[in-house]
Every structure is written in C-alpha cells, then in structure tokens.
Structure 1
Amino acid sequence: MSGGSTVLYDVPGPRARRRNAAIGLLALAGIAALVAFVIYRFNVTGQFEQRRWDQFQYSAVQRELLSGLGATLKAAGIASVLALLFGAVFASARLSDRWILRAPATFVVELFRAIPLLIMIFFFYYGPLQYGWSIPNLWALVLGLTLYNGSVLAEIFRAGIAAVPRGQAEAGYATGLRKNQVLRLILLPQAVRSMLPAIVSQLVVLLKDTALGFIITYPELLYYGKQIGGRLAFGLPYVPAYLVVAAIYIALCGALSMLAYWLQKHLSRMPKTAAPVMLRTDKETGATAPTPL
C-alpha cells in the first residue's frame, strides 16, 4: 500500500480539503442558526421570564435537585459496577474453548442486547407485582441497566481482546503460559487501551439511561425536574427545569469523559506490550514454569 493512502480511503488532496472545510463551516453555521432559532422561540414564548426561574434560588428546590443527583449517581454507580462484572464474566465465557460455556453466554448476551431497556425495567418493576410481591424501584432500574449495558460491555471486551494480533497469544503459548495467563499478562494489557473509549462511551449511555427511572417513580434527576416544572405558581416552568437537569447531565458526562481522557493518558505512558516472560526450570523436578521478568 502506498504511503499516500490509508486502509479505508485515499488521503484527500488540496481541493478535497478545501471542500471538506467549506462543508464543515456550513454545518457549523447551520447548527448555530438552529440554536439561535431555539433560543429565539424560548424567548418569544416567555421561557426566560424571571418568575419561571425564581424557584431555583430557594434552598428547598436546590435540595430536591441534589437529592435527585444523589439518586442518579447511586443507581449509575451500582449499575456500572455490576455491568462491568457482568461484561467481564460473559466475555470470558464467550472466549472459552468449551462450547458448554460459550453457547449459553452467547445466547444471554444476544438476548439482553436485543430487548429494549425500558421493557426490562418494566418487567422487573411490574412483573413481580403480578405475584403479590415487589422489588424496590432502585433495583428494578439497576437490574435493567445491568443486563442491557453489561451485554454491550461483554461484546466490547470480547472484541477488544480479539483485536489483539494472534501472534501475541501464540508467543505466550510458546513460552508455556496457560490460557488464563496469556489473557491476563499479554492480551488484557494491550486490549484495555483500545477498549477504554468504548467502555467510557457505554458508561455515559448508562448514566443517561438512569433518566428512565422516572417512569417507575424512582426519584432521580428527571423525576424531580418534572415536579419542579409542574408548579403553577411559577408559570409551569417545564423548559427551565429540563434545561437545568440537562445542564447537570452534561456536566456529569463531561466529568466522566475527562476521567477517561486522564486514564488514557496515564495508560499511554505504560509499556505497550506485556512484560517479557521467561521459562523457569525447577531443579528438583525438571518441570518448567513461566515467570514474568
């Protein structure tokens, strides 16, 4: 392959670069015009009137928002840990050489990836009510988030490990490493760099999906936003309330992205390959065992 092309497409020339720059400027202008129009319509319909924003200065409303933020972070935190564990376990099972582990894991992952998240939340919340018992709405939300996002993470883990060149694993096996040692010492250290952006993106999706909890009356941010926006004394400020909630979500997702950027920079300073492995010979038995240098 020539140096002037990539795997997917040829490097654009001067004319193509000018055309792409012009398209980019037109797109930015269009987005700016759309934002300006939305702000204009908000202003015309009185969404920026002082009385619609007055309640946000009261400590009771601020405590409601903080309570909703705490509930959102609680659900997202529990579901993130469980989804990562779920993804790791089922990705390992899908990578197994034994079909008795691989086949059920594939079925479970594909099943929960195919079911809409909202249906799973409804199932865990309303299903038990048909039999006279219930589970807390927090856990109905967490279980739905765990199964759906955990299945997606399982595919991310599996694809990241499979993307490592086959020769890396073969070299590990040639030195006498077992499969779990090859996975832990050679494949994972290299795969985690490529998996990190996709993992963080999925965790951001999980964080935003906690907003579905308001449908089952879980008191997260959107739940309180709806209550704040429905107060007639302040002119039913739904738009201001949802704008504030959206700003909080943007801040949370931005913080998570910044953490991911810091982790990626930290990982980039680490060696890009696993530690070399040598074979150690036991003097008494003559058996060999792999030992990281």
Structure 2
Amino acid sequence: MSTLFDVPGPVARRRMVWVNIAATIVVVGIAVWVLLRLNAKGQLDAALWKPFLTASPWVDYLIPGLVETLKAAGISIVTAAVFGFVFGLGRLSPSRAVRGVSGTIVEFFRAVPVLLMMIFFYLGLGKLQILDPSDVPLVAVVLGLTFYNGSVFAELVRSGVHGLPRGQREAALAVGLRGGQSLRLVEVPQALIAMLPAIASQLVVILKDTALGLIVTYPELLDAARRFGSGNGNILQALVVAALVFIVINYALTRLADQLAGRVGKRTAGKPRTEAPSLVVATGKD
C-alpha cells in the first residue's frame, strides 16, 4: 500500500509533540490576553450578558432568526443534492458532450464565491421584479448555496464512483443491467455511502454559509443577533451567543451524520463466514 508521506520516526514524533505543546500555549495565551482586554473594556460585565437569560431576545430575535437560518439551509440542502446528483451523473455520462457541459457548469460554480452569487441573484432578481420583494433575499441565498454546494456534491459523486473497487460495473452488466442502470442503482449508492463523511461536512458548510445572507438583508440568525445587539448596546455579546448556537447545531449535525454513516456501514458490511458450507454428495446403489 503506497502512502503520500513517510511515517514519522521517533525524533519526528517528539518534535510534533513539542510543536503541539507550543501551539497550545500560544493559543491559550492569546485567548487569555483577549479576555483580559475585553474585561478591561467592560465587555465581560454581567449586565451585558444578563438580557440573554430572559425570554425577550430569544422570542423576538434569536429564535425567529434561527428558523430563517434552518429554512434557508434546509431548502438549499435539498436543491443542492438534486443539482449534485444530476450533474454528478452528467460528469459520468458516456457522452462526451454531456460530460463536457456538466463539467463546465460544475467547475464554473465551484470557482465563483458564494457571496458573489448571492449578491448577483439579489440584485438581478430585484431588477427583474419577478418575485415579491420580501422573497428576494431568501431566493438569492438559496440559489447561491445551491449552485456552489451542488457543484461540490457533483464532484463528490464523480470522485466517489471513480474510487469504487474495480468490477462493480462489470458485475452489474453481467446480471443484465445497462450502463445507466449500473450507474444509478449500483455505483452511485455505494459512492454516496463511502462519501457520507464528506457530505456531512458539506451540510455543515451550507448551514454556516447561510450567515452570508446578512449581506443581502436576509433575516437569519446572525442578522437577528446584530439587530438585537445594536439596539441594546451589547452587539459583541449577541454575536457570541449566535456563534454558540451555530456551534451547537453544527456539532449535533456532525454527530447525527457520523451515527448515520456508522449504521449504514454496519448494514452494508459483509459478515464473515464462520463455517465452511457442507457438501451433499449423492450416492446411488445398484
């Protein structure tokens, strides 16, 4: 089995340990320095944090903002998955033209920053006036997240299929499936199972990138925290609380994806044979 790097020896491992210790000391030192500076500025005063122990900021700002965040993320996950599946299959098509068009579209949207796409759709849809003005921010956020993350999903499908062990397609063709059926029914499902950790990471990216909707006036969680903090003089504290909410949700999403991947892996793993199959030999007597 080939590796991309040499296994570190005893000296290299000791060096890595010392580097990790030094990095930890530096990070802890910076964190302590930041906390001391915030305390000197009065940003750690209990009065600035106390409002978040009441229901008002949660009911009026944070929870509605969280609902908008989850709505944009949920819609984007579904649409990005469809986009990724379609163009992932397109990149695996036997037709050179389909592969070329699909590859061009995927690479284009992977190269364009998500925020730039959101701003483009926000301004473009506003100029076209084909939607209710209140719906334009949500649609702009969803389109930006869909095209970028859908392109990432498409690449995951392509690389996952190419990473399968040899013989999958040949086995499917041997039992009578056509090339397209082999791709949809055999190869892509196996590739998706293998790529579940990467897919879960991308779901977290989608959820976090909804915060970019702040730029196009979408009332998501970060925007709600900013509005509450601006009106109450504790914007730093409001942003910290919003960050903690994001961390909790992303951690829960990651754990859920890990459990799902584990269960799927157990169901699809073959069980070793514990005993040899018995042979029945028929004997005849004259």
What TM-score, normalized by structure 2, do the two folds share?
0.87
> Larger deviation: 154-163 or 26-35?
26-35
Aligned to 2:25: 29
Mapping of residues 247-266 of structure 1, within 5 Å:
247-266=244-263
Aligned to 1:155: 155
Q: Secondary structure at the match of 2:3?
A: coil
Structure 1 runs, 4 residues or longer, greater than 3 Å off: 131-135
Residues 79-126 of structure 1: per-residue CA shift (max 9 Å, x gap)? 001101110010001100012322221121111111111121112111
Q: Secondary structure at the match of 1:228?
A: helix
Q: Distance in 2 between matches of 1:46 and 1:9?
A: 49
Matched, 1:7 2:3: yes
Equivalent pair of 1:190/1:272 in contact (CA under 8 Å): no
Q: Give how far 1:22 is off.
A: 1.6
The root-mean-square deviation of aligned C-alpha atoms, in Å, is 1.8
Q: Give how far 1:215 is off.
A: 1.5
Aligned to 1:38: 34
Matched, 1:245 2:238: no
Aligned to 1:182: 182
Q: Which runs of 5+ in 1 are unaligned?
A: 274-293
Mapping of residues 90-109 of structure 1, within 5 Å:
90-109=87-106
Matched, 1:208 2:205: no
Q: Distance in 1 between matches of 2:128 and 2:264?
A: 50
**What is the count of residue pairs matched by the alignment?**
266
Aligned to 1:60: 56
Aligned to 2:266: 269
Aligned to 1:116: 113
Q: Give how far 1:30 is off.
A: 1.7
Q: Distance in 2 between matches of 1:114 and 1:29?
A: 37
Equivalent AA in structure 1 for residue 145 of structure 2 = L
Equivalent AA in structure 2 for residue 218 of structure 1 = Y
Residues 138-177 of structure 1: per-residue CA shift (max 9 Å, x gap)? 1121111111111111111111111112332223323432
Q: Secondary structure at the match of 2:201?
A: helix
Percent of aligned pairs with the same residue? 44
What TM-score, normalized by structure 1, do the two folds share?
0.85
Q: Distance in 2 between matches of 1:132 and 1:250?
A: 37
Q: Distance in 2 between matches of 1:18 and 1:127?
A: 56
Q: Distance in 2 between matches of 1:29 and 1:91?
A: 45
Aligned to 2:14: 18
Q: Distance in 2 between matches of 1:47 and 1:176?
A: 69
Aligned to 2:83: 86
Q: Secondary structure at the match of 2:195?
A: helix
